[in-house]
Structures are given as C-alpha cells and as structure tokens.
C-alpha cells in the first residue's frame, strides 16, 4: 500500500507533467503567457523535487525503477527549465530596452539631445 508521501510524490509528478504540457502549448509570440507557463512548470518541478527528497529509500524502492528514473530525469529537467525561463526573461528585457531606446531617440533632437518641440529651438 502506498504511503502518504508516495501518493504526494505521484500527485506532484502528475501536476508537473500537466504544467509542462501547458508550457509547451503556449504560443511563442505570447511572451507573457509563455513566461507564466514556464514559471508554473518550474514551481511544479520544485514541488515534485521536494516530494522526491522527502521519500525514504524504502518508499523510493516502492515506486519502482521507472519512477526512480523519472525522478532523476526530473532533476535534470528542472535545471534546464530554469535556464529557459531566464533566457526568455532576458530576451523580453532586451526587447523592452530596445523599444525604450527607440522611443527616446524618436522624441529627442539629434542636434542638441533635448526633447523635441516645443522645448527644442533647433
């Protein structure tokens, strides 16, 4: 019979797979939804990892080799998801910075770098 911690681990793993599926289904052009989906998947991975670490060796053996291998893969995937999330956030920040710089260039005089009319007299 499965213990409470084994059941908690299996529930966390199922939620993680659902979150990863949702993250994979997000439209790549929708950056905000993509980041939120990756954040949710990462939270689910952390919960699954915490549930895995809470298991005793006997409980881990109860899960069987397949679940054990899935747990090992999960630990590798968590690091990868963190890297993808950081990369996506950096890409969005770079796009925001470029947009802000373009807005500043469009609103300043190239000769005196003051805000264009009515302040600039160039």
Per domain, the residue ranges of the chain are 4-107
Token pair for residue 19? 């979150």
Best CA proximity match to 87, nearest among 38, 46, 16, 27 = 38
46 CB contacts (<8 Å, ≥6 apart)?
Answer: 78
The 10s digit of each residue's pLDDT in 79-122 is: 777 787 788 888 888 888 888 777 777 777 766 666 665 566 66
Q: How many CA atoms lie within 13 A of 23 on its CB side?
A: 22
Report the pLDDT value the prediction gives residue 110, as an integer from 0 to 100. 67
Backbone φ, ψ for residue 27 (5° rounding): -65, 130
Token pair for residue 90? 């950096």
Residue 51: pLDDT over 70:
yes
pTM: 0.51
Mean pLDDT of 24-31: 70
């Amino acid at each position: 019979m499965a213990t409470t911690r084994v059941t908690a681990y299996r529930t966390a793993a199922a939620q993680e797979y659902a979150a990863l599926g949702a993250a994979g289904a997000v439209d790549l052009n929708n950056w905000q939804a993509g980041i939120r989906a990756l954040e949710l998947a990462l939270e689910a991975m952390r919960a699954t990892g915490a549930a895995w670490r809470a298991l005793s060796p006997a409980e881990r053996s109860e899960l069987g080799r397949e679940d054990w291998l899935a747990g090992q893969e999960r630990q590798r995937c968590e690091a990868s998801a963190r890297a993808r999330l950081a990369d996506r956030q950096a890409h969005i920040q770079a796009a925001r910075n470029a947009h802000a710089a373009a807005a500043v260039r469009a609103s300043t005089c190239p000769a005196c770098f003051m805000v264009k009319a009515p302040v600039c007299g160039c």
